[in-house]
Amino acid sequence: MSVTIKQIAVVAGVSRGTVDRVLHNRPGVKPEIALHVRKIADDLGYEPNRAGKILAARKQPLKIGCFLPSIGNAFFDDVIAGFQQAENELSDFGVTLVLQEVEGYDAGVHIRAIRKLVEAGCQALCVSTIDTKEIRAFLNQLIDSGIPVIAVNTDLTKTGRLCYVGCDYLQAGSTAAGLLALMASDQLNLLIVTGSLKMKGHNDRIRGFSRTLREKKVPYKLVDVFEALDNDEYAYQMALGTLRAHPEINCIYIAAAGVAGVCRAVTELERQNQIYILSHDEIESTRQLVQDGVIDFTIGQEPKDQGYCSVQMMFDYYMSGKQVAPCNHITNTVIKIRENIN
Amino acid sequence: MSVTIKQIAVVAGVSRGTVDRVLHNRPGVKPEIALHVRKIADDLGYEPNRAGKILAARKQPLKIGCFLPSIGNAFFDDVIAGFQQAENELSDFGVTLVLQEVEGYDAGVHIRAIRKLVEAGCQALCVSTIDTKEIRAFLNQLIDSGIPVIAVNTDLTKTGRLCYVGCDYLQAGSTAAGLLALMASDQLNLLIVTGSLKMKGHNDRIRGFSRTLREKKVPYKLVDVFEALDNDEYAYQMALGTLRAHPEINCIYIAAAGVAGVCRAVTELERQNQIYILSHDEIESTRQLVQDGVIDFTIGQEPKDQGYCSVQMMFDYYMSGKQVAPCNHITNTVIKIRENIN
DNA sequence: TTGAAAGCGCTACCAC
DNA sequence: GTGGTAGCGCTTTCAA
């Protein structure tokens, strides 16, 4: 059994309160006593006990705010499931979650929603937002005012965010290309469907994809690229037009949402057997298309893990007395084909 | 904030001790009072608080025994890493782990090692052993004497084990075949290397593999099958002979250990570019061979997760007062290629 | 500047 | 059968 504050107090000949003050760098302790106590704690190899901390922490419960642009975007369902699992496991430890959801990627809308969380009394934030100047400035202000922030799914550069919890977009794209290279032998006539050319994650996937195709010396020709704008109907229309105009297309790489729309176009034209289809992420409709053999494979990023870990890490950070900033957590790049998608 | 034992005691007009007795079905409470208290607890929606339980549980620390046939078998390194991570996270909650390792699959050796754990005072077991009559009888005896057992990596049929934590071997084999089917277009002349024809897991992988090849109507001919007996040197010798005798072999499916040995034979014969090589699991040497492009892909089973979850589930089981038996936990079937193996 | 004590929720134990 | 109480390790507050 390990060292307790009580033991340190006895050895140091002071009270538990004083030891506590020293260990938390709180003022009001004579320097020489502080030094003395700290030395004893170190010598004894003191490690605070989580169970005790947690129980005591219940007097000041922790409210964590979560923000996602998840309305109308099924991808985030699993992130939310991860949030909820963490909330369940930590509710006994005094943790509450507040979830704010919005639709789309308007900076003003995001800022207002996040502000709402703070006004609701959240002492910490897990957010998935866009990495723009305006939002960075806003978040840095919150961080300076003492509200720690973890970036989920999309990193926030040049901010004081504690850490990034999400996937490696470059690796995801690269993995799609690596697997395609194992499958394809003939020349590829490629259609790339992205979400938005403004989204760094989508661009990174395409960069990783192209780079690895080149490295592997896969002979390919890029026939066309279009943005699906997270809209299945629009993706369908665009794909239909492009496929009609280009009967030579034999591979479609869908780097973001709009998967079902693109696939609808392909099956309507009855070309699913002549075209490799690769996608990212794993929402219900995508899963179904993989199971039906329309999509050859999809590259996932463990979104549930992202939600779960970000909340857990925030809790740990608070439990450590905001001393130990967590490291980035990069989720696995997972390959799903028909046989292992469920 | 949720309902506590104290509140129930006040409402019921009894002491906390009595409430505790009722909630734990301990004897020494008048039936009508018990009924009364239970009703109030239900009405109030009482949920025991983990933090409080854990802290109190430190007075009777939990010692969990782990058994693995891991000596000389690198696969188990990650399972052990999972055990250790769980031990780390739970050490503050009074959990200690004792690890017993043996080499090979002799029932007597396994039984003696597991007995040692019990004699060392372990109150619960997480074991990876073989599913034989002798071992089943031995374990059932322990289970009857009040020591709960979780089966890790290999299930134990017809025993009172709490649950199974491990992979789906059939799905793993099936996934290997599904991915191979996406890659291969010509007729396959197949060499299958298994670990032992006595191991159910290995056989299941091969069954899943063959079944899916047939389902996908992949034209293939089984040229040869041999056992590698978890021995790289032996695997090397056998592979060398078989490959020399059969220049038509263009695909090797390695269902168990011996991966590096087989690959050495292939590269020595300079046939790595003519042969698809598929393997299972992810030890350091396998990882290297995937990175070098010798192995096309390997199918993993998240061994670390297996170690981690089994210990966590055992802890939760004890925390629930041995009331709620945990469900099976089937780990993901993960596909690793060069681009996502690290 | 420091000590003492209460209390987080639960369990265990002793006394009646 | 039942109540009362101490204590798990920690934080916080009040008193000195």
Instruction: Give how far B59 is from chain A: nearest CA, Å.
Output: 10
- Chain A touched by B185 (CB under 8 Å): yes
| Mean pLDDT of the B252-263 span | 97
Burial classification of residue A7, based on how many CB atoms lie within 10 Å of its CB (0-12 exposed, 13-18 middle, 19 or more buried): middle
| Residue A1, pLDDT above cutoff 80 | no
pLDDT mean over B240-261: 96
| pLDDT one-digit tens code per residue, B110-149 | 999 999 999 999 999 999 999 999 999 999 999 999 999 9
Question: pLDDT tens for residues A154-172?
Answer: 999 999 999 999 999 999 9
A99 and chain B in contact, CB less than 8 A: no
Nucleotide D5: nearest residue by CA–C1'? B17
What percent of chain B is predicted at pLDDT more than 70? 100
Q: Strands B297-300 and B329-330: what pairing?
A: unpaired
If you average pLDDT over every residue of chain B, what do you get?
95
Answer yes or no: is pLDDT of A110 > 80.
yes
Dump pLDDT digits (tens) for A211-239.
999 999 999 999 999 999 989 999 999 99
Q: In chain A, which residues have their Cβ closer than 8 Å to the Cβ of B178?
A: 337-340
Average pLDDT for A275-287: 97
Query: Closest nucleotide to residue B15 (Cα to C1')?
Result: D3
Position B133, amino acid: K
CA distance A206 to chain B (A): 15
Domains assigned to chain B:
5-48 (1.10.260.40), 61-166+303-331 (3.40.50.2300), 169-300 (3.40.50.2300)
Contact between chains at B171 and A49 (C-beta distance less than 8 A): no
Question: By the 8 A CB rule, do B303 and B82 touch?
Answer: yes
What pLDDT score does A2 carry?
A: 81
For tokens 């590829």, the residue is A188
Indicate the average pLDDT of chain A.
95
Q: Do A51 and B49 touch (CB under 8 A)?
A: no
Question: Would you state the pLDDT for residue B1?
Answer: 65
pLDDT in tens, B144-180: 999 999 999 999 999 999 999 999 999 999 999 999 9
Contact list in A for residue B1 (CB cut-off 8 A) is: 58, 61
| Phi, psi values for residue B324, rounded to 5° | -100, 105
Mean pLDDT of B213-236: 95
Cα dihedral B65, B70, B71, B77, rounded to 10, equals -100
- Residue B60 confidence class, pLDDT cut points 50, 70, 90: confident
What share of chain B has pLDDT > 90, as a percent? 87
The residue to which tokens 């550069």 are assigned: A157
Distance from CA of B171 to the nearest CA of A (A): 7
Tell me, what's the pLDDT at A235? 96
- 3-state SS, residue A4: coil
Q: So what's the pLDDT on residue A185?
A: 84
Of B1, B51, B177, the CB nearest to A51: B51
Enumerate long-range contacts of A194-197, CB under 8 Å, 24 or more apart: A194/A225, A194/A226, A194/A227, A194/A228, A194/A255, A194/A256, A195/A227, A195/A228, A195/A229, A195/A230, A195/A255, A195/A256, A195/A257, A195/A258, A196/A105, A196/A227, A196/A229, A196/A230, A196/A256, A197/A227
Tell whether A56 lies on the interface with B, counting CB pairs under 8 A. no
Please tell me whether residue A296 adopts helix, strand or coil conformation: coil
At which residue do the structure tokens 């009595």 appear?
B18
pLDDT tier at A59, thresholds 50, 70, 90: confident
pLDDT band at B58 (very low <50, low <70, confident <90, very high): confident
Q: Calculate mean pLDDT across residues B215-225.
A: 96
Rounded mean pLDDT of A47-58? 89
Considering only A148-157, A167-176, A245-254, B31-40, which range has the smallest mean pLDDT? B31-40
Cα–Cα dist B311/B127, whole Å: 10
What local confidence, expressed as pLDDT, does residue B57 receive? 85
**Protein-proximal nucleotides of chain C (any atom < 7 Å from a CB):** 1-14
Neighbours of B74 (CB within 10 A): 15
